[in-house]
Amino acid sequence: MSASTSEGIALITGSSQGIGKAIAIRLASDGFEIAINDIPAKSLTLEATQKEIQELTGKRALICVGDVSVEEEVKGMIEEVVKSLGGIDVMVANAGICPCGPLNDVTLDEWERAFAVNVRGTFLCYKYASLQMIAQGRGGRLIGASSGGGKQGQRLMGLYSSTKFAIRGLTQSAALEYGKHGITVNAYCPGPIDTEMVRKAAQDVGGDTEKVLKMYAQMSAVGRIGNPADVANLVSFLASKHSEYLTGQTGSSKNDVESLLIVQLYNFNGYAMLMESRLRNPPTKLRLPSS
């Protein structure tokens, strides 16, 4: 699954900052040739990221400006990567938005925009990257961005969670269809990560950002909030040859011990709503039937 002079060729969408940027830096460090993407409004940030990648890894990333919700722009990005770098081996469909607020306040335009970016964008990236990978005949890796909110619905995050659940279903279905071509399809499901998007989400619902981040850290089994590099470490594995037998999975990069303590999220005013858990209410012992 690699180009002759590197680990392969990877395109990371939404990679001007945050998790996407960390993934791009990590994959470049792993030996991949890198293409980075974001919307036109983030062109300057994208150029700064390109410079940082080169300083840190010695690799010059290809910049592909485009909106993942627009089909022709996604096709154009893939074509540009193939033309400039020689193919594509890894597609990281990272681009996304995080709308927050009560469900009854969500407008239809907001609903459709979130699904356009988060779900349609992932679908288009999977579709056109896989078509190129199939044509190349050397397999590949498709990697999507779900979320902890894509495994459990969260208060004030109904729209966002809906899109992230959809990405998990899309990822599982794509894995079944593309496996015969040597293409694996997986997604990563971060919990709270200290990024600009998470900080903005806290502000959008009137929360104290620092209190929210502190609350996240207290919920963590290791006592800290995640950072973008934590997610990049997981994606590094999913993009590597070592993950060739892993497909259709959504790997969590969080540590809130969700199987033991179910956390029902946070109203961003500094309060955490904790549901009943197995720790507080252990299951009753089974009684064997009398003989």
What residues act catalytically? 160, 164
Contacts of 215 (CB under 8 A, 6+ apart): 266, 270, 272
CA atoms of 258 and 272, how far apart (whole Å): 15
143: left (phi over 0), alpha (psi -120 to 50) or beta: beta
Distance of CA 29 to the CA centre of its chain: 19
Opening angle at CA 130, ends 73 and 3, nearest 5: 100
User: Helices 18-30 and 228-239, interaxial angle, to 10°?
Assistant: 50
Residues 6 or more apart from 14 whose CB is under 8 A from it? 20, 37, 38, 68, 94, 95, 96, 145
